[in-house]
Amino acid sequence: MFDSSHFHPMIVHFPIALIMVGFIADLFSLFLSKKEPSLSKIGFYLMILGTLGAIAAFLTGEFFTTKKIGEAGLVLAQHEMFAKITMGIMIFASIFRIYLVIAKKENSALKYFVILLIAIAAATVSYTGFLGGNLVYNFMIGL
């Protein structure tokens, strides 16, 4: 039978990949913007999809996983905290970047601020994934 606790592991890998690849595309767009202007658009769309994926991953983690106690509970609490930080940063950065695109200011100096936010989110999503991996492999959660 299908277990609803599998929703979170099925969804969680999408925001990790989308945020990381979107950040790399945006980073390369800074150096190759004249040669390859589509990298910034790719980064923009991956950022939006990564944000939606982060929201979905957070919601599946909240509603379809069980709480833990002891050392696993402490790691889970850190995992949840960094997931919320990542989601919050990505929501803010996405809204701000959508504003820049609508206002036709995507090539202003504010783009560097957005890329800095995405870099921070890439770091926090990486650490969140690391903590999630610890939960699975060190505490055998979900196996």
pLDDT tens-digit map of 44-77? 999 999 999 999 999 999 998 888 888 989 999 9
- Residue 20 carries which side chain, given as an amino acid letter? M
What DSSP designation does 107 have? T
Residue 143 has a pLDDT of 60
Which residue carries 């999630």 as its tokens? 132
Domains held by the chain: number = 1
Domain that holds residue 18: 4-139
CB 28 within 8 A of CB 39: yes
Name the band, by pLDDT with cuts 50, 70 and 90, for residue 107.
confident
pLDDT, one tens digit per residue, over 1-55 is 577 778 898 999 999 999 999 999 999 988 886 777 789 899 999 999 999 999 9
Do 56 and 11 touch, CB atoms closer than 8 A?
A: yes
If you ran DSSP here, which 8-state letter would residue 3 be given?
Answer: -
110 or 68: whose pLDDT is higher? Answer: 110
Question: CATH code at 134?
Answer: 1.20.120
Helix (H) or strand (E) holding 108: none
Show Cβ contacts of residue 29 under 8 Å, excluding neighbours closer than 6 positions: 36, 37, 39, 40, 42, 43
C-alpha 117/C-alpha 82 separation (Å) is 14
Query: Taking Cα atoms as reference points, which of 62, 78, 80 lies closest to residue 4?
Result: 62
Dihedral over Cα of 126, 128, 134, 137: its sign: negative
Instruction: Work out the average pLDDT over 74-85.
Output: 96
